[in-house]
Chain A
Amino acid sequence: MKKRFKVNKLITYLLLSVAAVISLLPLYWVFSTSLQLKSFQDEELERPTSYVNANPPKMYPIGITEYLEHWGKARDAEKAGDAEQEAYHREVMSMIVKDTFSGFKNLFEKNQMGMWFFNSLYIGIVVTIGILLLDSMAGYVLAKKRFPGRNLIFWLIISTMMIPSQVTLVPMFIMIRDLGLMDTHWALILPDLSMVFGVFLMRQFMLSIPDELIEAAKIDGASEWKTYWKIVLPLARPGLAALGIFTFMNVWNSFLWPIIVLNSAKLYTLPVGLKTLQDANLADFKLLMSGAAIAAIPMIIVFLIFQRHFVKGLTLGGVKE
């Protein structure tokens, strides 16, 4: 009986590991290709010029082993007192380093990767802060106040959550154009701030805050704003964290609307920049994967740090239907 149990466990681990490899392979391939040697040529060894397009494919950035190989040879040459050989290997080593990171260098020097990164970051932060403030205010009164029109407003907001966002693309385009906001960051920020999912989420979350605390604050003579700012917001912190992370992620990854309204390269966000990068360099996969890597890293870091809040946010929005 016990033995069978162990076999089951082994099969479970095996299945999940295979699935995890499939899950992570594309991401690994982004990073591996971005660091692969591309135009490096080692005449002595007569290796192919591009390891990115090698056959069979190199499963890891070959620069790592090449570098170590030449490092060893340089040391041997040093020991043997062969200054010429040593200098040769040292030069190859520096070429390897240069070539490994050439994709990133190209992105920042010949393309405006730094600018795109900055745009994505600041738009993400502005929208996230705005959403947290607006949606927690709206969610608070919808959950805790009774006033005429409350239910109407709530159901109006909820019912639009069912409408796919593509429906509003054309009218929004005309509106943004007529407001003179085409090809500005306002064209991204304003529509993003009007997303309603957070209102729903914050309302659900605020329902669980005990009324007594709010009443107590009122009795102590706190103004509405003070009650919200000092009592309600701190209690809603877990909900805010979850909403903040999801908002930032959505804005950071947002693609369809930005490619419609942004035309100037210096205003691009990362996803738009990546698309134009691909349109202009269809076959330069080292360059493309370098760009993809830079766009992927921040979200991976955010996820690894705030994993708990991701889980919380998903279960808040989903299970408590």
Chain B
Amino acid sequence: MQLSARFKNAGESLKRTGKQMRKNYAAYLFLLPKLILFTLFIAIPVVWAFLLSFQEYQIIEANTFAGIDNYLKVFQSEAFRQALLNTTIYTVVTVPFNVITALIAASLIHSLGRFAQNFFRAAFYLPTVTSMVIIAMVWRWMYNYEFGLFNHVMGWFGMEPINWLGQTDSALWAIIIMQMLIPFGVGIILYMASMSSISDSLYEAATIDGANAFQKWLKITIPMLTPSTVYLTLLSTIGSFQVFTQIILMTGGGPGYATETLVHLIYKTGFRDFEFGLAAAQSVVLFVIIFIISVLQYKVLNRNK
């Protein structure tokens, strides 16, 4: 009895769903093209990547189950450990620096008149719209040992030229310095937008209490910007773990493994050595790392709320 009633209910609710689906066929039609593309080029490849990571798969010989062999190989390889270390150093140095300087720059710009605001915003955002390919090419030129701009300028101050990209101990730092000196345009624009939505009454109240400009900045502006800070830190950390273009165009990961990064290693493993299974495992590890860091950052940065 109970069972058949439940079946009846289920049948009815199915019928209802079917009816609604017919009624809403237009909605499904509107979604269909995107859904097909999404399934083919995102959903299936994502699942496939996980499956591949457990397979032995070189370019043609396909599909032998390999268990966790690929993952063992990933963690045993020196290249991967070095890539993980380099990517981490790169992220730990550049992300906080870029977020903080974006905050400072946005605060300074925000205090100016409209014309100056537009000018500086454009000046700081322009490198962001320029392809990283172009930026990397010109920095490689500026870092050039013999004729590069930097060694010339350092020469004016009596400093010895540095083989920026060619030495093990300076190459990673050259990439890091470059990233620090490219303004975080997205951050500046978002911070400025958030600042203009902070209510004036907060500042007025603080003025009555006798707070100076710096105190107001520290006690009102920065706390009120926390959601933006969380978002920007997450965004740039995720981007930073995917650093690739600079590496392939400026150092190729070298010298040795000095500037090897995770995505560059995935690229090399997958598309130079054609070790598809191994590359898939590396990319799954990258995903897990990014996921864990995102969750941790979100928790830590939001803990004051």
Binding site for B on A (CB under 8 A): 8-9, 12-13, 15-16, 19-20, 22-24, 26-27, 29-30, 33, 52-57, 134-135, 137-138, 140-142, 145-148, 150, 153, 156-157, 160, 162-175, 190-191, 193-194, 196, 199, 224-225, 228, 249, 252-253, 255-256, 259-260, 270-271, 274-275, 278, 285, 288-289, 292, 295-296, 299-300, 302-304, 307, 310-311, 314-315, 318-319, 321
Summarize B's interface: helix, strand, loop or mixed. helix
A24 touches B190 (CB 8 A): no
Cβ contacts B233-251/A at 8 Å (1 or 0 each) = 0010010011011001100
- Stretch touching chain A among B1-9, B19-27, B71-79, B202-210: B19-27
Q: Once bound together, how far apart are the Cα atoms of A145 and B249, in whole Å? A: 47
The 8 closest A-B pairs by CB, nearest first: A171-B48, A168-B45, A147-B24, A194-B37, A194-B41, A171-B45, A224-B26, A253-B131
15 A/B residue pairs, CB under 8 Å, sorted by A: A16-B112, A19-B105, A53-B146, A55-B147, A138-B30, A141-B26, A146-B24, A160-B43, A160-B46, A167-B49, A253-B132, A256-B245, A260-B271, A296-B134, A311-B189
B105 touches A16 (CB 8 A): yes
Smallest CB–CB gap between A27 and chain B, Å? 6
Report if A162-B291 is in contact (Cβ < 8 Å); known contacts: A57-B149, A295-B131: yes
A148 touches B17 (CB 8 A): yes
Interface of chain B residues 28 through 42 with chain A (CB within 8 A)? 28, 30-31, 33-35, 37-38, 40-42
Name A285's contact: one of B21, B144, B186 (CB within 8 Å): B144
Interface of chain B residues 133 through 179 with chain A (CB within 8 A)? 133-135, 137-142, 144, 146-147, 149, 152, 155-156
Q: Once bound together, how far apart are the Cα atoms of A199 and B33, in whole Å? A: 12
A22: chain B residues at CB < 8 Å are 181, 183
B126 within 8 A of A: yes
Smallest CB–CB gap between B83 and chain A, Å? 13
For the A-B complex, the count of residue pairs with Cβ-Cβ distances under 8 Å equals 272
A170 touches B152 (CB 8 A): no
A26 touches B142 (CB 8 A): yes
A147 touches B141 (CB 8 A): no
Q: Once bound together, how far apart are the Cα atoms of A199 and B30, in whole Å? A: 12
B111 within 8 A of A: yes
Smallest CB–CB gap between A74 and chain B, Å? 32
Report if A145-B24 is in contact (Cβ < 8 Å); known contacts: A166-B263, A256-B244: yes
B142: chain A residues at CB < 8 Å are 26, 29
Smallest CB–CB gap between A274 and chain B, Å? 5
B91: chain A residues at CB < 8 Å are none
Which residue of A has the minimal Cβ distance to B232? A318
Q: Once bound together, how far apart are the Cα atoms of A292 and B152, in whole Å? A: 22
Report if A169-B279 is in contact (Cβ < 8 Å); known contacts: A53-B146, A278-B137: yes
Smallest CB–CB gap between B140 and chain A, Å? 8
Name B189's contact: one of A166, A274, A304, A315 (CB within 8 Å): A315
B124: chain A residues at CB < 8 Å are 19-20, 23
B287: chain A residues at CB < 8 Å are 163-164, 167
B122 touches A304 (CB 8 A): yes
B120 touches A274 (CB 8 A): no
A27 touches B126 (CB 8 A): yes
Q: Which of A20, A33, A160, A191 counts the most B-chain CB atoms under 10 A from its CB?
A: A20
Q: Which of under 10, 10 to 19, 20 to 34, or 35 or more describes the interface residues of B?
A: 35 or more
Q: Once bound together, how far apart are the Cα atoms of A278 and B111, in whole Å? A: 43
A148: chain B residues at CB < 8 Å are 17, 20-21, 24
A23 touches B126 (CB 8 A): yes
A303: chain B residues at CB < 8 Å are 122, 125-126, 129
B245 touches A134 (CB 8 A): no
Binding site for A on B (CB under 8 A): 17, 20-21, 24, 26-28, 30-31, 33-35, 37-38, 40-46, 48-49, 52, 105, 108-109, 111-112, 116, 118, 120-127, 129-135, 137-142, 144, 146-147, 149, 152, 155-156, 181-183, 186, 189-190, 193-194, 197, 213, 227-228, 231-232, 235, 238, 241-242, 244-245, 248-249, 263, 266-267, 270-271, 276, 279-280, 283-284, 286-287, 290-291, 294
Report if A300-B126 is in contact (Cβ < 8 Å); known contacts: A153-B35, A157-B38, A194-B40: yes
B133: chain A residues at CB < 8 Å are 253, 255, 271, 274-275, 292, 295
Q: Once bound together, how far apart are the Cα atoms of A8 and B108, in whole Å? A: 10
Smallest CB–CB gap between A93 and chain B, Å? 27
B42 touches A194 (CB 8 A): yes
Which residue of A has the minimal Cβ distance to B21? A148
Known: A22-B181, A292-B137. 9 other contacts (CB 8 A): A134-B33, A134-B34, A141-B30, A147-B28, A162-B294, A164-B242, A164-B287, A292-B138, A318-B235
Q: Which of B42, B46, B49, B155 counts the most A-chain CB atoms under 10 A from its CB?
A: B42
B108 touches A15 (CB 8 A): yes
Q: Which of B118, B193, B242 counts the most A-chain CB atoms under 10 A from its CB?
A: B193
Smallest CB–CB gap between B226 and chain A, Å? 12
B27: chain A residues at CB < 8 Å are 141, 145, 147, 150
Q: Once bound together, how far apart are the Cα atoms of A200 and B249, in whole Å? A: 33
Which residue of A has the minimal Cβ distance to B271? A260
Q: Which of A164, A190, A315 counts the most B-chain CB atoms under 10 A from its CB?
A: A164
Smallest CB–CB gap between B132 and chain A, Å? 7
A302 touches B149 (CB 8 A): no
Q: Which of B40, B112, B132, B138 counts the most A-chain CB atoms under 10 A from its CB?
A: B138
A292: chain B residues at CB < 8 Å are 133-134, 137-138
